[in-house]
Structure 1
Amino acid sequence: MNPKETARKILPLLGGKENIQSAAHCATRLRLVLKDDDKANKAELENIDEVKGVFLSSGQFQIILGTGMVNKVYQALSEEADFSTDTDSSDHSEAIKKKMNPVARVAKSLSNIFVPIIPAIVASGLLMGLLGMMRAFQWVEPESAWFVFLDMFSSAAFIILPILIGFSAAKEFGGNAFLGAVIGGIMTHPALLNPWVLGNQDPSYIEFLGFDVALIGYQGTVLPVLLTVYVMSKFERGLRKFVPNSIDLLVTPFLTVIFTGFLAMLVIGPLGTLLGDGISNGLQFLYDKAGFIAGILFGGLYSTIVLTGVHHSFHAIEAGLLAKFGVNFLLPIWSMANVAQGGAGLAVFFKTKNKKLKGIALPSAISSFLGITEPVIFGVNLRLRRPFIGAAIGGALGGAYVVFTNVVANAYGLTGIPMIAIVAPEGMANLVNYLIGFAIAVVGAFAATLILGFKEE
């Protein structure tokens, strides 16, 4: 591949450099925000030998080029189109949001908040697994320093989760990230009773303006701090329009923390807790009562939801489940849908006679087994249509099995093979059933795609 020559082929088919509003790239794809998507010639772009797929999703016109090449073509395209490769990622994100509908915009914002927190959640999940193994196999005494320290390390991320969310949410909502962290700190202050250790203990109350306020914290919660920081960011930005620059540093943070702090303790915190508990309990009820039928529906429909971009909001729901129940029973279902896309992609690889399609299908299928599904969905299965349906069938079968066997994870953010790391800590039976579900989803999608067939043209 000649990156410069590829960039020269791509640029006019995008409608020219004047049609590119913003550009970025990920590990495999060019991500472009175009002023007019209709000016891009999708069919001609797909005919370029170096291009493995083209699709429009989440406000971005995306071109699949593959690992290692996408950054070179991006650099060449930036030179051809005269745009800077040093563009602030927040500017690109804002350009994306302007092209989304309101629902997709909310979903994208939630994704931007929770994705950066994934490493902390995954680390805590793995530490909890290690702690569980130490307890189960009696490697050390429960009173030993090893056990005490690892217990502290594993629970820390969930105890300070409101601080992490506060920091990340304030950045996304346009507020001061450190003030967002302060609000999270207020809601997890040591003076407030930690609900994780509440047990049968009743919280103390304090009278304020005629109201009895429970002195209970929000450790491990999601919605209360999310809603509070949203209000904080709006209040802070509104204040800055009226406060003179000479006293802004003193007045704005002072008033923001006081106003938002009281609002969190008196109104938003309690209401957010009720709302979060309602969502979590509702999902738990559906999971318990609908059983494997819920797995069929969620596993079969998840990839279709991915097409809308709404799946970006699921991290917030999963974080709420972890905070409420200590496990995530939704992620194994999502994982079945993702690996099923890989199973359908493998069927396309074995069945097609088209060399270019073979070259796309195999690596993109492997990518889906590692948790990255966009290449196989948009580059292969959705283009051919019936393989996408075959993947939905495999996802439904795998989803039904993992729900029937109560497979859970202790974190969020990982699917496919990497998800083994956050499934294994919940026990050997949990791991074995996850792997069986994985096989059912892949084989089911593979068989369904072969039976349904597809028309390559």
Structure 2
Amino acid sequence: MSVNRQAAEQIVKAVGGKENIVAATHCVTRLRFALADEEKVDKEALESIDLVKGFFSTNGQFQVVIGQGTVDKVYNEMVELTGIGRASKQEIKDAAAEKLNPLQRAIKTLADIFIPILPAIVTAGLLMGINNVLTGPGIFFEKKALVDVYTGWKDFASIINLIANTAFVFLPGLIGWSAVTRFGGNPLLGIVLGLMLVHPDLLNAWGYGSAKEIPKWDLFGLEVQKVGYQGQVLPVLLASFVLAKIEIFLKKRIPDALQLLLVAPIALLVTGFVSFIAIGPITFAIGNVITDGVVGIFEAAPIIGGLLYGALYAPLVITGMHHTFLAVDLQLIGSTGGTFLWPMLALSNIAQGTAALAMMFVLKDEKLKGLSATSAVSAYLGITEPAMFGVNLRFRYAFISAVIGSAIAGMFITLNGVKATSIGVGGLPGFLSIFPDKWAPFFIGMVIVLIVPFVLTLLFGKLRNK
């Protein structure tokens, strides 16, 4: 019997047998189950399986971490073994969603919208980091940027900046595509809606505050501001919901032969008018209130704000609530030009990796030692699931040590006004997304999360083993 076949049999038995599996699929590294009853899972049996690197439950899904390249082989063996049909990720989400409360469903909806666009945003963040290195004064030369000394690099940096900024300039287009898809509408209409909200004929949102006169439409006596929503999240989210629901409503009532001519034009026209007349102005104001509120809290009590967010980010990941802060990060970047929350995310990830690395020196089990080392590397590159769920949460003192280190570092960088220009890779490469003039305090924060969790984990480990 092959190793993969044996692992599949053991996993099926450990999750309660095939009768307990409602549906199953897999992603790059994990098996994803919708289980009838998670209480039937034999966690000790799962931990003893060689190929299993960890497991956790989130948003109604029970997920088993296997690893890239192996997970699909184990999944194929499991399908053949149990006879369960191959399920799509959406089918798993739909099956799991039935168990969620309203708050969990709202958080899951945000995750479903923002996770698909993360590759574009993270890529943009990395490229903006390269641009920061080339154009930031004082990095290589005193009070001068690299492009000021070597002027031949100026246009090269300019092109990089253009490529990097595209995802943020047309962010509503990305969100419109993902949100309308999530709400059951045509994703192409979502793209059109998002781009419509940042059309060049509109006053750029970033120039709204300094504009001497706001252009307006006169709709039979009703004045509507011709303002774009660059960098805004809420307007396109709500408009996408309205567009999808109108489209679904029309498709049910218009004959198939006429749908191509009527559904999309009516849906876009109605949503467009509603967006510029009501949705845009209202959500723009709400977004500014949220931005001002978050900024106000951290300005009034930076020590408490940094300490709490640095400490709470990892626990939020366990619940899935961290996805809500991606929208806040994007709103902060669009409204203020930078976010002070994302740098703490990057340091929290590093802290989890450090705690996992320390466990390699604490543990005696060779399998767990190997898992600790590989998951630490993964966390340092921004993927914390193997470290958190495979190692640190299993040995709670490691997770607590990481949280303590993250809290201290979060407090320090917040006091020093560290901000990120964009969302990048949430690990060691994260410094590329930080404003260059704040690299020094951010690097000190990195040193904190490389030392404190490591030392605390070793100390707690020795005390526990006495």
TM-score (norm 2): 0.90
Hey, what does 1:448 align to over in structure 2? 456
Letter in 2 for 1:2: V
Distance 1:156 1:52 in 2: 38
Distance 1:48 1:128 in 2: 43
Whether the 8 Å CA contact 1:343–1:446 is kept in 2: the answer is yes
Question: What whole-Å deviation, never above 9, does each CA across 1:307-355 have from its counterpart, x for those lacking one?
Answer: 1111122211111111111212111111222221222222322122233
| 3-state SS of paired residue (2:253) | coil
Hey, what does 2:347 align to over in structure 1? 336
Distance 1:418 1:72, change over 3 A: farther
Hey, what does 2:140 align to over in structure 1? none
Whether the 8 Å CA contact 2:356–2:373 is kept in 1: the answer is yes
Structure 1 window deviating more from structure 2 (16-25 vs 392-401): it is 16-25
TM-score (norm 1): 0.91
Matched, 1:362 2:370: no
Hey, what does 2:310 align to over in structure 1? 299
Hey, what does 1:378 align to over in structure 2? 389
Q: CA deviation at 1:145?
A: 5.7
Distance 2:405 2:354 in 1: 8
Structure 1 window deviating more from structure 2 (144-153 vs 378-387): it is 144-153
Distance 2:46 2:168 in 1: 46
Letter in 2 for 1:417: L
Whether the 8 Å CA contact 1:344–1:390 is kept in 2: the answer is yes
Distance 2:458 2:248 in 1: 56
Q: CA deviation at 1:302?
A: 1.1
For residue 189 of structure 2, the aligned residue among 152, 165, 179 is 179
Distance 1:10 1:156, change over 3 A: closer
| 3-state SS of paired residue (1:219) | coil
Hey, what does 1:412 align to over in structure 2? 423
Matched, 1:236 2:247: yes
Hey, what does 2:292 align to over in structure 1? 281
Whether the 8 Å CA contact 1:339–1:369 is kept in 2: the answer is yes
Distance 1:413 1:94, change over 3 A: farther
Question: What whole-Å deviation, never above 9, does each CA across 1:198-247 have from its counterpart, x for those lacking one?
Answer: 43332112222543211111122111011111111122112222222232
Percent identity between the two aligned chains: 39
Whether the 8 Å CA contact 2:123–2:424 is kept in 1: the answer is no
Whether the 8 Å CA contact 2:409–2:448 is kept in 1: the answer is yes
Distance 1:128 1:62, change over 3 A: closer
Hey, what does 2:163 align to over in structure 1? 153
Whether the 8 Å CA contact 2:24–2:92 is kept in 1: the answer is yes
> How many residue pairs were aligned?
452
Distance 1:146 1:361, change over 3 A: closer
Distance 1:329 1:73, change over 3 A: same
Instruction: Trace 1:130-279 onto structure 2 (pairs within 5 A).
Output: 130-132=130-132, 133-134=134-135, 136-137=145-146, 138=148, 149-150=159-160, 152-198=162-208, 199-279=210-290
Give the alignment's Cα RMSD to 1 decimal. Answer: 2.4
Q: Following superposition, which runs of at least 4 residues in structure 1 exceed 6 angstroms of deviation?
A: none
Q: CA deviation at 1:165?
A: 1.1
| 3-state SS of paired residue (1:314) | helix
Distance 1:312 1:255, change over 3 A: same
Hey, what does 2:95 align to over in structure 1? 95
Question: What whole-Å deviation, never above 9, does each CA across 1:393-438 have from its counterpart, x for those lacking one?
Answer: 1111111122122222222252112323323xx21x4233322212
Matched, 1:63 2:74: no
Structure 1 window deviating more from structure 2 (356-365 vs 265-274): it is 356-365
Q: CA deviation at 1:271?
A: 0.7
Whether the 8 Å CA contact 2:316–2:322 is kept in 1: the answer is yes
Q: CA deviation at 1:126?
A: 4.2
Q: CA deviation at 1:248?
A: 2.1
Distance 2:274 2:184 in 1: 19
Structure 2: gaps spanning 5 or more residues: 137-144
Whether the 8 Å CA contact 2:203–2:214 is kept in 1: the answer is yes
